[in-house]
Chains A and B, each alone.
Chain A
Amino acid sequence: MTANAHALAAYNQRKGFLSWLWTWLSTVDHKRIAILYLFGGGLFFVIGGIEALLIRIQLAVPQNDFLVGSTYNEVVTMHGTTMIFLAAMPLVFAMMNAVVPLQIGARDVAFPFVNALGFWLFFLGGIVLNTSWFLGGAPAGGWTAYAPLTTEFLGTGSDFYLLGLQLSGAGTLMGAINFMVTIINMRAPGMTFMRMPLFTWTSLITSTLILFAFPPLTVGFFLEFFDHIFHANFFNTAKGGNAIIFEHIFWIFGHPEVYILVLPAFGIISEVVATFSKKRLFGYTSMVFATVLIGFLSFMVWVHHMFTVGLGPMANSLFALATMTIAVPTGMKIFNWLFTMWGGQIHFTTANLFAVGFVPTFVMGGVTGVMLAVPSADSQYHDSYFVIAHFHYVIIGGVVFGLLAGLFYWWPKMFGKILNETLGKITFWTFFIGFHLTFFPQHFLGLIGMPRRYFTYFPDEGFNTWNLISSIGAIGMAIGAIVLVINIVITTAKGQKAAGDAWGIGRTLEWSIPSPPPEYNFAQTPLVKGIDTFWKEKMEGNKKVTPAEPLGDIHMPNPTILPFLMSIALTIAAYGFIFANQTSASRPLCLVIAAFGIGLMLLLMLIHSIKDDPGFHYHKEEIIEIEKGAE
């Protein structure tokens, strides 16, 4: 063991809260970062869920006065923003961090430092956004933050939105580049592109979408930020600005964002369905093709969010056609999942229940999606509860079901213990029934004319019954989520210990190593012989995957606190800009603070550049010891 590793081991032995905290703040291990993303995203998921319940309480009965006016606007805005940017995105990254390096037989990600930085930027960005509740009011302009409403007519809450999301967006972008390079450069020998597990494929395409979709969002938010804080005129019509530009920029990001979230869910479903049907995924090649095609088309359809803006029949028709085209590759995927199950030995574990529940639910979201893609009909649906129903079927029925399937499936790999299946099934059924009860009636509410984002309705409008049913359904989803939390606590305390191949029928490389994996993942880099290479080896009677190299020393990066400090520096800068807008007296001081934050960031970057990390080695003898202990 090198001096560094010795110091580290000694450090870890010194128990205590501070050293525990230090290991998490300074970790660069993708498996630990996955856990950070999981609990960070989980925290914001709970906050966003509570906001959803508040909305449903307000709307349960007509002319309710539980949340009115701008308070309701704040809760609605924060619910949407939190769920998309601070819950769904990090949970996707949690899955990617936990699984992708293991699926491609890699010991680490390409940029462990950047990986940690990405997480801390996301987390502190989320904190910045949520502190708005205590510092003068939350943003209230909707999750889309349209201009000029956000830039001219709302208070300081908008600044928290713009700066907080700028931070977490930067983190997401870094994470995406990291995963693209990891998947392209660090696959084990024999792992050709067309042998990659589907979750890895969807992670690659999602990362690519992030790379090209987030920069427009960054620019759009900067433009609003300049308008709001430095009185620029991008969206100020009085001085020649044009607010429609923001809508274009936002949706050039916003539409790919939907696929950024749902493609990894598709990947998870593909893994879970194949594993628990004990069959190879049906139509692997067409699945890959469909994923790439969806990724490509996702950039061609943003105007379908803007049909009612009035861009003219030609633009609307072209974008309507492009939108409907996406149904084709998505349909291919649905059929492939069904054919995978066909004739398989289906195990209805919780993970698979979520995957099976996903299929019809997501199809319903897809069908309403095609309905919304017809511009003339969209004029009727636009800004009504029909749209709310549609995208909750896609985002919950697609993304959340997928993530929950992945959570139950890979939990043993991440934590070494299997989540309780009985409690898991209670979660599934309450969540599934609660979900449909909540959102199915909203289709009808939309069709009979209930507009979205309104905080109340009159008793004689015919909205009463459906709204009440919808609010009752929300209770079901809440119970499902609470049972999941209880499940996690019970499992952590006294759960059943998981084997390396936790389900006994694992197909891909992550199941060929212990649960949880050692820091270096693979003692020997595996040799990949085909799709589902671990399954192939098991069928040939091998307990382990054939190694591609002899056992030897393994080089690992050292932990570092710099990513956390860098995120703190940018957080200081963000608060500086936010408060610069609050009172004119303190404006110069606040701008100095912002400049200080940016300066600190540059200084930390310089330190990172100067200080080369030599890393440390796991020696051959240690690895043999660790591997023995894990068996």
Chain B
Amino acid sequence: MSGANHVDIRTLSHPETATLEGKNKFLGFWFFLGGETVLFGTLFATFIALRNRVATGPSSQELFSLPLTFLSTIILLVSSLTSVFAVLAMKEYKIRQMQLWFWLTVVLGLAFLGLEITEFKEYVHEGLGYTTSAFSSSFYTLVGTHGCHVLFGVLWISALMIQSYKKGITTVTAPKYYVSALYWHFIDVVWVFIFTIVYLLGILGG
């Protein structure tokens, strides 16, 4: 909004919601995450209904390894923390710090994706293809949808960070940084549910 341009941005404690556009983005993104929650909820429900339908393929008890997924979980949780630091830095207009923390988030996201790809390769090797059973289809679809979200988050935050060297922290860019971090937290929360419902329940066989 034109009005905000006349004020020194550094006096604003919440640059992400200083303008009407920023407020709209903020609220709209929360609603979007509400829709995403229902989307993942439906995928979870489908997975829960089909998780023991292994047909002739391997079951989750035979496949999952706790150490590997525990490592993935730690990596993703830490990446959520780094994105919090990035947003805190943004609110203090420390652009270098913000960039550092966001880049760290991206690196952790990539590490997570690398682990996930290794894991999927291993499962395919052990005979769990996408078309093996209802369990395999629902497993790969749920975890894969999450993986695609992580990939999109990595691309998105990277694109914002490359631009940030030129654009800095303004009332236009601050809402973008903020909602990208919000998105990152969301995929982290989804992973916590995947870890519990897919992996822990899968290993314990509940």
Contact = CB atoms under 8 A, between A and B. Distances in A.
Interface residues of A, number: 44
A431 interface: no
Given A212-B34, A215-B36, A241-B50, A232 B130 contact: yes
B134 A240 contact: yes
Interface size band for B:
35 or more
Contact of A555 (B1, B38, B133): B1
Interface in B99-150: 130-138, 141
B165 interface: no
Interface string B1-23: 11000000000000000001001
Secondary structure at the B interface, as helix, strand, loop or mixed, is: helix
Interface stretch (B68-76, B155-163, B182-190): B155-163
Contact of A226 (B27, B141, B160): B141
Contacts of A111: 24, 28
Contact of A220 (B35, B42, B49, B159): B42
Contacts of B204: none
A605 B20 CA distance: 22
A219 B44 CA distance: 11
B134 A234 contact: yes
B31 A249 contact: no
A461 interface: no
A602 to B, nearest CB: 7
Interface stretch (A61-69, A173-181, A412-420, A500-508): A173-181
Given A212-B35, A239-B55, A249 B137 contact: no
A255 to B, nearest CB: 14
A216 B43 CA distance: 9
Contacts of A226: 137, 141
Contact of A177 (B31, B135, B137): B31
B172 A242 contact: no
Contacts of B55: 233, 238-240
A186 interface: yes
A218 B39 contact: yes
B141 A232 contact: yes
Secondary structure at the A interface, as helix, strand, loop or mixed, is: helix
A216 B31 contact: no
Contacts of A215: 35-36, 38-39, 42
Interface string A197-220: 000000000000001101110111
A219 B135 CA distance: 16
Contacts of A236: 134
Contact of A242 (B2, B132, B134, B176): B134
Given A226-B141, A240-B54, A555-B2, A219 B39 contact: yes
A318 interface: no
A602 B154 CA distance: 13
B31 A232 contact: no
A620 B20 CA distance: 21
Contact of A232 (B34, B131, B160): B131
Contacts of A377: none
Contacts of A240: 50, 53-55, 133-135
Interface in B71-85: none
Contacts of A184: 27
Contacts of A245: 45-46, 49-50
Contacts of B159: 606, 609-610
Contacts of A249: 42, 46
Nearest to B46: A245
B46 to A, nearest CB: 6
A627 B136 CA distance: 64
A233 B128 CA distance: 13
Contact of B28 (A177, A555, A602): A177
Which of A238, A239, A555, A612 has the most chain B CB atoms closer than 10 A to its own CB? A239
A106 B3 CA distance: 17
B42 A609 contact: no
A256 to B, nearest CB: 11
B137 A232 contact: yes
Contacts of A242: 49-50, 53, 134
Contacts of A219: 39, 42-43, 46
Interface in A225-248: 226-227, 230-234, 236, 238-242, 245
B145 to A, nearest CB: 9
A181 B28 contact: yes
A383 interface: no
Contacts of B24: 110-111, 181, 185-186
Contacts of A222: 141
A241 B131 CA distance: 11
Nearest to A173: B35
A223 interface: yes
Interface string B161-189: 00100000000100010000000000000
A602 B152 CA distance: 9
Contacts of B49: 242, 245
A252 B53 CA distance: 23
A216 B27 CA distance: 22
A537 interface: no
Nearest to B34: A211
Contacts of B141: 222-223, 226, 232, 234
B32 interface: yes
A617 B130 CA distance: 54
Interface in A344-377: none
22 contacts: A111-B24, A180-B27, A181-B28, A181-B31, A211-B31, A215-B36, A215-B38, A216-B39, A227-B137, A232-B137, A233-B133, A233-B136, A233-B137, A234-B50, A234-B138, A239-B131, A239-B133, A240-B54, A241-B134, A242-B50, A555-B2, A610-B163
Given A110-B28, A215-B39, A245-B46, 18 more contacts: A177-B28, A178-B28, A181-B31, A184-B27, A211-B38, A215-B35, A215-B42, A216-B39, A231-B130, A232-B131, A233-B134, A234-B141, A236-B134, A239-B55, A241-B53, A242-B49, A609-B159, A610-B163
Which 8 pairs across A and B sit closest by C-beta, in order of nearness?
A: A240-B53, A240-B134, A232-B137, A215-B39, A219-B42, A110-B24, A215-B38, A241-B134
